[in-house]
Amino acid sequence: DQQVKQNSPSLSVQEGRISILNCDYTNSMFDYFLWYKKYPAEGPTFLISISSIKDKNEDGRFTVFLNKSAKHLSLHIVPSQPGDSAVYFCAASATDSWGKLQFGAGTQVVVTP
Amino acid sequence: DAGVTQSPTHLIKTRGQQVTLRCSPKSGHDTVSWYQQALGQGPQFIFQYYEEEERQRGNFPDRFSGHQFPNYSSELNVNALLLGDSALYLCASSLSSREETQYFGPGTRLLVL
């Protein structure tokens, strides 16, 4: 039962342009959402998070948007840089599942010159 | 400030054997979670340890067990290994606060032959 879905397995974007990654979820009890970036042979690196009481959170080049009514969140990276090429995972946790993160399958981002 | 460390980095076992993986949390963290990541998928939650007890468990059989020590480090044990247990095993640490972000180690790559 995949409760967090990333429907785009890959995304190619030009350097300097905006990358938009999408994530959908089905569990209405999810109230905390995170994005992680993963390079090959490394563990996931935390990027940014958002609580369900907010609809937007920014940190430098990264902005996460949350639409609770649509059960949808997105990550915007502006401007995209070659070092952003990685797999990006969306994750969520629920009020009644302390610290149990549920992950999407990931989106492979390739930033081209 | 040391991040999350895991050992070993790689491991090869045969079916039916037992394996122990180790994790040291990030300095100041008291909670350790374990995840299994199969090829092409997002990490799947195995269990979480806090105050030396299992606090949350995912949908994994009893062959998967763990332990947390007084210094907050943790072990993951898998008995009666199956070919399907081949995966990247990730350890993540956090503070006990519910919305604290989880920080991941580099993982242990387990191959079962």
Distance CA B18, CA A100 (A): 25
- Check CB contact of B68 with chain A, cutoff 8 Å: no
Give me the pLDDT at residue A45, please: 95
A45: which chain B residues are within 8 Å (Cβ-Cβ)?
104
Asked whether the beta carbons of residue B42 and residue A32 sit closer than 8 angstroms, the reply is: no
In 3D space, the residue among A112, A111, A106 whose CA is nearest the CA of residue A22 turns out to be A106
- Substitution target in A8, A93, A101, A108 with the highest count of B β-carbons within 10 Å is A101
Q: What is the pLDDT of residues B64-75, one digit of tens each?
A: 999 999 999 999
State the average pLDDT for chain B: 94
Q: Is the pLDDT of residue A96 over 80?
A: no
* Binding-face residues of A in 22-51 toward B, CB within 8 A: 32, 34, 36, 41-46, 49, 51
In 3D space, the residue among B110, B79, B76 whose CA is nearest the CA of residue B17 turns out to be B79
Q: Which residue has the higher pLDDT, B24 or B1?
A: B24
Q: Is the pLDDT of residue A5 over 90?
A: yes
Distance CA B6, CA B106 (A): 7
- Option in A43, A100, A101 nearest B105 (CB): A43
Q: What percentage of residues in chain A have a pLDDT greater than 90?
A: 88
Distance CA B21, CA B12 (A): 12
Name A57's bridge partners.
A64
Q: Are the CB atoms for A88 and A77 separated by under 8 Å? A: no
Peptide bond into A82 cis (omega under 30): no
Report residue B95's pLDDT band, with 50, 70 and 90 as the boundaries. Answer: confident
- Structure letter (DSSP) for residue A9: S
Asked whether the beta carbons of residue B102 and residue A46 sit closer than 8 angstroms, the reply is: yes
**What's the first-to-final CA gap in chain A, in angstroms?**
38
Asked whether the beta carbons of residue A98 and residue B56 sit closer than 8 angstroms, the reply is: yes
Q: What is the pLDDT of residues B37-65, one digit of tens each?
A: 999 899 999 999 999 999 889 999 999 99
Tokens of B2: 């040391």
Distance CA A76, CA A103 (A): 18
- The shortest C-alpha distance from B84 to chain A (Å) reads 18
Longest dimension (CA), chain A: 44
Q: Which residue has the higher pLDDT, A99 or B76?
A: B76
Asked whether the beta carbons of residue A45 and residue B104 sit closer than 8 angstroms, the reply is: yes
Give me the pLDDT at residue A2, please: 85
Alpha-carbon B7 to chain mean position: 10
Report residue B2's pLDDT band, with 50, 70 and 90 as the boundaries. Answer: confident
B31: which chain A residues are within 8 Å (Cβ-Cβ)?
99
Q: What is the pLDDT of residues A26-66, one digit of tens each?
A: 999 999 999 999 998 889 999 999 999 999 999 999 999 99
For residue A62, which amino acid is it? F
- The shortest C-alpha distance from A39 to chain B (Å) reads 10
- Option in A43, A91, A100 nearest B107 (CB): A43
Asked whether the beta carbons of residue B94 and residue A99 sit closer than 8 angstroms, the reply is: yes
Distance CA A6, CA A17 (A): 21
Residue A26 in 3-state DSSP? coil
Q: Are the CB atoms for A87 and A8 separated by under 8 Å? A: no
Give me the pLDDT at residue B1, please: 63
In 3D space, the residue among B28, B10, B32, B27 whose CA is nearest the CA of residue B19 turns out to be B10
Give me the pLDDT at residue A29, please: 92
Q: Token match 């580099």: residue? A: B106
- Check CB contact of B60 with chain A, cutoff 8 Å: no
The residue length of chain B stands at 113
